[in-house]
Chain A
Amino acid sequence: MEVRQISVFLENKPGQLAHMCRILADAGIDLKALNIAETSDYGVLRIITDKPRKTISVLTSESLVCSSTDVVAVKVPDQPGGLAGILDVIAEKNISIEYMYSMLGGNGTTSAIMVFQTNEKSSVFAAAGLEVLSGSDVGIEE
């Protein structure tokens, strides 16, 4: 039950992010989550959108380099210690996190969602008792 994430290569130059967001907007694509890891020269932008396949095709047609990967979305109780509890479980299971970021709870809910890229599949998260969300749970239409 993984969630599709699109990564985009962006140079660290003014207007690059705006340009990409404009491409998505013009194609009627809705951004659900966004995260950037960067060096001084470039950034790896990671996004979750409502239409992953269309996202890749419009970005590729605009000559942007992108790739898609599966990530695990976990529901986080919206209360003190909510995230800490989840990270404790992940640590206990010896799962190593390459990166993580948060996204909106989607569809009017107030709870938070954390997105994880790790060395394990979502089934390991679910077996550890974490509430793993599907693509449609986080608003992916395709």
Chain B
Amino acid sequence: MEGYYQKDIECASRDEIRSLQSRRLVEQVRFVWNNVPYYRHKMEALGVCPDDIRGVEDISKLPFLKKDDLRDSYPDGLRGVPLKDCVRIHSTSGTTGKRVVAYYTKDDIDLWDDCVARALVAAGISDEDVVQVCYGYGLFTGGLGLHGGAEKLGCLVLPMSSGSTDRQLQFMQDLGSTVLCCTPSYAAYLSETINERGLRDTIRLRRGIFGAEAWSDDMRASIESSLGIKAHDIYGLTELSGPGVAYECSVQKGMHINEDHFLAEIIDPDTCEPLPMGSKGELVITSLTKKGFPLLRYRTRDICILSEEKCECGRTFVKMSRPMGRSDDMLIVKGVNVFPSQIETVLIQQGYAANYQIIVDRENNSDTLDVMIEMTSENFSDSLSKITAQEKTLVAELKAMLGIYANVHLVAPKSIVRSEGKAVRVIDRRKI
């Protein structure tokens, strides 16, 4: 039996959903016009005013927001309410090191928790479950996002945060965790460790909610069989709230978008023209209810396909496929967003030329990030200790910029492969 957290809306008719979206869009556009001058200026530049938006059919009249807009309006140019009405921020990395800060009102958090609770119930989770959250807590939305939804549903939540596998396994056994929330690669790592240590019979996991990183059906099958669980995908972005923008039901074929809160479009990333339902393109999301950080037509850069086909689970929300790639050069490494431009910024600050190569790989189910940097005559000397000290500084600065550890390799000049005179910046060797 399929369970629902908010059945009325999750299973509403397409017409009902569409008219709710239209009503909310009209209100939201007016709200943004009145409260977010940055976006109002963008609308004015296109000659659009709130009266032009009468329903979802008018969405394409509105200007897009890109990650660069979030950077340019940093830290609070897109905030929709006074600071005193905000209760939390989350933050994600920007393209060149300037971070993106998203604001939340009490209502925003409440609605976000609803979205996550829907995801948990759709995965067959209830207030009887013990939910172990191993996503990072803090600026990253994974930890607090899953935490909020699970707590709202009435689960017992174990706020483990990421890392320290021994402690994770001890709590998992001692408290009888039934649900695991983490990145798919950490789930694979835990499952390997559990099986190596022969702990399979001492754990009681039955469900997994795994997101924030790309994975495949093969990886799902292997995690499911080695842990004896059902594994569900979850999608979200800090800019829009966090995990819970879309979630997977028992059918496990695509993720239902929480359409009462998020209006989804697919566009051609080159022409920015809207594409018909079923086309592969870039996902654009308009947040219909968020007030702290109300983004209209935000370009996610995730390439996917939307489907309106009736789902066996009974939900009527449109489904999105797993992201199939990016329309920019962002990489997701260990669940963290990495832009090559961030690495470039550090290199230039440290006196290296922008000749570099990023190699991403996966060893023992954990992502690795290696940065090859061409040695320059300015940084070279006869002193090995000076060079190794520079290397250490580079590693520390990259860690500070990216939030994750990168192996630095100094290589000979011109040794980084160039194709047609242009350096090949990123090699992703992960077979997912």
Contacts and interface: CB of A to CB of B under 8 A. Distances in A.
A66 B377 contact: yes
Contact of B384 (A5, A16, A39, A60): A39
B165 interface: no
Interface in B155-196: none
A98 B385 contact: yes
A119 B380 CA distance: 19
Interface residues of A, number: 23
B412 A64 contact: yes
A67 B381 CA distance: 6
A65 B384 contact: no
B417 interface: no
Which of the listed residues B375, B376, B382, B411 has the most CB atoms from chain A within 10 Å of its own CB? B382
Which DSSP category, helix, strand, loop or mixed, fits chain B's interface? loop
B385 A65 contact: no
Given A44-B387, A65-B375, A7 B412 contact: no
Contacts of B383: 44, 98, 117
B381 A65 contact: no
Given A39-B388, A44-B387, A67 B382 contact: yes
A58 B388 CA distance: 27
Contacts of B409: 41
Contacts of B376: 65
Contacts of B381: 7, 67, 69
Contacts of A64: 412-413
Contacts of B410: 9, 41-42
A46 B412 contact: no
B54 interface: no
A16 B383 CA distance: 20
Contact of A46 (B375, B382, B387, B411): B382
B399 interface: no
B390 interface: no
A63 interface: yes
Nearest to A117: B382
A69 B381 CA distance: 8
Interface of A: 5, 7, 9-11, 16, 37-39, 41-42, 44, 46, 60, 63-67, 69, 98-99, 117
Given A42-B375, A42-B411, A65-B377, 4 more contacts: A44-B384, A63-B413, A63-B414, A64-B412
5 contacts: A16-B412, A63-B412, A64-B412, A65-B375, A65-B376
